[in-house]
Homo-oligomer: A and B are copies of this chain.
Amino acid sequence: MTSTRATLMQVAERAGVSLASTSRALHGTGASKAMVERVRAAAAELGYSADAIGRSLRMKKTSQIAFAVADIGNPVYVEMMRGIHEVLAPHGYRVVVMTTGDTATSATELVRSLNSGFVDGMILIPLRTDDRLITEIRRAPVPVVVIGRALSEHGVSSVSTDSAAGIGQAVRHVRSRGRRRIGFLNGPLDTTPGAARQRGFDAAVRADGFTADRVETEVADDFTVAAGLAAARRLFSRGAGRAERLDAVVAANDLLAIGAIRAAREAGLSVPDDVAVTGMDDTELGRVFLPSLTSVSLGSAERGHAAAGLMLGLTDDPDQPARQVAVGPELIARESTADGSPR
């Protein structure tokens, strides 16, 4: 707070050598041993540390990568960030967090803000992906890697996961547990995940030969526990008059699944005995819940790793063709779908 930072110039003067030699000595490229020693000593005495901004301006490299999401509070994003950070930090990159949520900032605006050149790249998780966003990404001055939809056909590097197939895994899993009437608890359909998961559910029940009267779908306002609770209440009350009740709920993410478990509990139903529940994302929350939640892992940390890997490739060569990585979904069976004879 009090001390002011030393500049390279001051180190040079103290060492009694030129600016260039000082810079070289500190980087260890093409300087005599004596020079290196002399400069090092001067630098140490002054507590010198190279200025990141000066260097950035000269090198045209900020050593920063932006991570842009709708809401950083979402545990899935947190895990991705952790994965991204793990890969990027050893390469000397800092991670700058940006959100679309707190202000009225859209993903497109976030991408446009790259024009101010404060980062060397951006890893973006858009809730919705439209043409305007893709156009903006393609004309961005630095590489952008998208986590979400597969976008390499549009010339955008991306990390995707087949959440539709993941929902299929969940449907088959509860089927294999002997469940016959399945409720699907989805989030908003106009979001990328919501749309994909709906497709996955529809395809899975069709493939499994479900008749329409054995399937219910309910859409929550948001991918949250509260919204899931409200929607699951509707789901359970809808089937209340029927002969056969729902004996399984496949939820589009873990938070909705927790909402469903609470709603089941309210309705006097036991999980998993009366109704099996599956989530998606394999969050810590689901893992430690009671009953622990069967969930389809979409490899959050893995996707973070992959996105960061793509980014490293792109910062090396920004003109390389767009690449795409797919991370497979994997169902992890836990207590919420444990075997037992449903009434």
Contact = CB atoms under 8 A, between A and B. Distances in A.
A142 interface: yes
Given A50-B116, A118-B53, A2 B139 contact: yes
Interface string A288-320: 111000000000000000000000000000110
Nearest to A254: B288
B85 A72 contact: yes
Nearest to A301: B73
Q: Taking each of A90, A94, A262, which has the highest tally of chain B beta carbons within 10 Å of its own beta carbon? A: A94
A286 to B, nearest CB: 10
Given A64-B96, A89-B99, 7 more contacts: A5-B141, A75-B78, A81-B97, A89-B102, A90-B103, A225-B284, A285-B285
A154 interface: no
A316 to B, nearest CB: 14
A52 to B, nearest CB: 4
A49 interface: yes
A150 to B, nearest CB: 18
A211 interface: no
5 contacts: A1-B318, A49-B117, A50-B116, A90-B102, A262-B290
A133 interface: no
Given A4-B141, A141-B4, A97 B98 contact: no
Interface string A186-207: 0000000000000000000000
Nearest to A139: B3
Nearest to A61: B53
Interface string A72-116: 110100110110011001100011111100110000000000011
A288 B258 contact: yes
Interface in A270-290: 284-285, 288-290
Interface string A33-59: 000000000000001011111101100
Give the oligomeric copy count: 2
A27 B144 CA distance: 29
A103 B5 CA distance: 26
A62 interface: yes
A1 B138 contact: yes
A126 interface: no
A143 interface: yes
A116 B285 contact: no
A90 B262 CA distance: 37
Contacts of A225: 284, 288
Contacts of A62: 53
A140 interface: yes
A97 B85 contact: yes
Contacts of A116: 49-52
A238 interface: no
A117 B5 CA distance: 9
Given A75-B75, A96-B96, A117-B52, A1 B102 contact: no
